[in-house]
Amino acid sequence: MAKNNVHSADGSFLGFLFQIERVMLWLSEGGERKIVGIETDDDIVVQIQSGVDIDIIYEQAKNAQGGNIPFSDQSEDLWKTLSIWVKAVEEDRININNAIFSAITNKKLPASRLLLKLSKAKKENNAEMLKVIKELKGTALKLSKDNKKYGSVITNCEEQTLINIVDKIVVLDGSFHHDHNAFKKQLKANLSIGDKLPFDHIYNGLFGSVISKIINCWRNREEAWINVESFNNLYNELVAEFLKKSFVEQATSFIPVKKSEIEQNRKSLYVEQLNSINCNEQEILEAIHDYLRCQSEKSRYAKEFEVPESKFLEYYDDLTQHWKNISRPRFRINPQGLSPEDIGYQVYNETTLYKGKLNNQEPKQGYTYKGAYHYLANMPEIGWHPTWETKFKKTNNASKDK
């Protein structure tokens, strides 16, 4: 039972994130008087203020998990959605002439689905439209007890009103551009984000801010509305923040580490230094990851002219000085009678808490500063064991002389 609950929670959460992506996509398409709401009348509502009229897009977004395909002919999600749209028109809450009714899912719908037939029916082909309306009402009359309340909204609706609504239905299924990677590509194009700008940094900032805005509104029992102007302002702030920075660190997930690289590094000097102070396997793996990511990013900074080599040398000098301030008294004075390995382990942990400033900017990613320490230990310019110079430096110098 617990396992099923977990899957259900995952599905709901992914569905929520899916809606956030749709909100962002609508906002990114611009229109200075456009506002987008989530979980208001329907899953997503887009309003476009145009003079005295309001154009409204009602969008029912369904992110299905596993093999489940939403909007089946007998499903609650289909009939509840249709009833919401009908009620909105019948109660004069929207001007149907300026409305779009959008149903979207990450799954590809079978061609036989009633919803797809509705989306293809247009007023221009009166015979086809009347045929679909007849099938719609016929299916509504055969609904199960739980869905009859939604079906009755359809069967009681005037035929011309139904025709007007069906004419405005748009279905975007799994063949549309809302899969995550394609969505990000579309968002990037809508915002005209060039390759010089860190798209993932900007995307994460926008995504997090939209979620925060929506959650804060819900906590205050308010409908969550976001306008294009505020979305654009946030985007401009993120770009300005990037331009102020001398470099932008990538998230660890964007810097993969190969298994072969890990194995190649196990015999590196910085790993031997960690072994000498009895670091465990997990600590060794973390260190290798940090070292490799740091070196990878250093190459990228140089290639993109973000951080010159001279700034790295200054950074290394700063980290080395900090290591000296920590290690010298610890290596010399040992009132607790600790083993050399324990002393070295303390020096290592205390030293690597300090981030320093690279090109006048404090690193935010651990691999940047921790990897820099491992680089220095690999030279070796610094060491963790009290006798590191005897153990490693002389050996290293001797190998260089050869």
Structure tokens at 314: 């200054």
| pLDDT surpasses 50 at 246 | yes
| pLDDT surpasses 90 at 268 | yes
Structure tokens at 362: 């404090």
| pLDDT surpasses 60 at 3 | no
Decide if 36 contacts 225 (C-beta within 8 A): yes
Confidence (pLDDT) at 358: 93
| pLDDT surpasses 70 at 53 | no
Decide if 276 contacts 385 (C-beta within 8 A): yes
Of 314 and 111, the structure prediction assigns the larger pLDDT to: 314
Confidence (pLDDT) at 8: 36
Confidence (pLDDT) at 377: 97
Decide if 190 contacts 29 (C-beta within 8 A): yes
DSSP letter (8 states) at residue 157: S
| pLDDT surpasses 80 at 396 | no
Confidence (pLDDT) at 131: 95
Of 360 and 325, the structure prediction assigns the larger pLDDT to: 325
Confidence (pLDDT) at 59: 57
| pLDDT surpasses 60 at 297 | yes
Gap between the Cα atoms of 367 and 69, Å rounded: 42
In this structure, the strands spanning 99-105 and 169-172 are: parallel
pTM of the model: 0.46
Confidence (pLDDT) at 254: 85
- Calculate the CA 38 to chain-centre distance: 18
Q: In the structure, what pLDDT confidence band is assigned to residue 18 with cuts at 50, 70 and 90?
A: low
Of 347 and 210, the structure prediction assigns the larger pLDDT to: 347
Q: In what order do the strands lie in the sheet with 169-172?
A: 169-172, 99-105, 53-62, 44-50, 34-38, 224-227
Tens digits of residue pLDDT in 190-213: 888 887 777 887 888 888 888 887
Confidence (pLDDT) at 121: 93
Confidence (pLDDT) at 114: 94
- Tell me the longest C-alpha to C-alpha distance in the chain: 95
Rounded percentage of the chain residues whose pLDDT exceeds 90: 43
pLDDT, average across residues 156-182? 78
Reference 131, options 159, 150, 157, 103; nearest CA is 159
Q: In the structure, what pLDDT confidence band is assigned to residue 17 with cuts at 50, 70 and 90?
A: low
Gap between the Cα atoms of 69 and 108, Å rounded: 8
Lowest pLDDT segment from 117-131, 140-154, 295-309: 295-309
Lowest pLDDT segment from 2-6, 32-36, 138-142, 240-244: 2-6
Residue 159 neighbours by CB under 8 Å, 6+ apart: 133
pLDDT, average across residues 239-244? 74
Confidence (pLDDT) at 38: 61
Of 42 and 131, the structure prediction assigns the larger pLDDT to: 131
pLDDT, average across residues 278-305? 93
| pLDDT surpasses 90 at 30 | no
Structure tokens at 277: 């102070």
| pLDDT surpasses 80 at 310 | yes
For every residue of 317-352, DSSP letters joined together read HHHHHHHHHHHHHHHH--TT---HHHHHHHHHHHHT
Gap between the Cα atoms of 351 and 377, Å rounded: 12
Q: In the structure, what pLDDT confidence band is assigned to residue 397 with cuts at 50, 70 and 90?
A: very low
Q: In the structure, what pLDDT confidence band is assigned to residue 9 with cuts at 50, 70 and 90?
A: very low
Structure tokens at 147: 């869905």
Of 302 and 290, the structure prediction assigns the larger pLDDT to: 290
Tens digits of residue pLDDT in 61-93: 554 545 567 788 998 888 988 888 888 888 887
DSSP letter (8 states) at residue 249: P
Confidence (pLDDT) at 12: 46
| pLDDT surpasses 70 at 48 | no
Rounded percentage of the chain residues whose pLDDT exceeds 70: 79
Decide if 371 contacts 293 (C-beta within 8 A): yes
**Region label for 199, one of left (φ > 0), alpha (ψ between -120 and 50) or beta (otherwise):** alpha
Confidence (pLDDT) at 4: 37
Residue 140 one-letter amino acid: A
- The mean pLDDT of the chain is 81
| pLDDT surpasses 80 at 307 | yes
Q: In the structure, what pLDDT confidence band is assigned to residue 185 with cuts at 50, 70 and 90?
A: confident
pLDDT, average across residues 281-299? 96
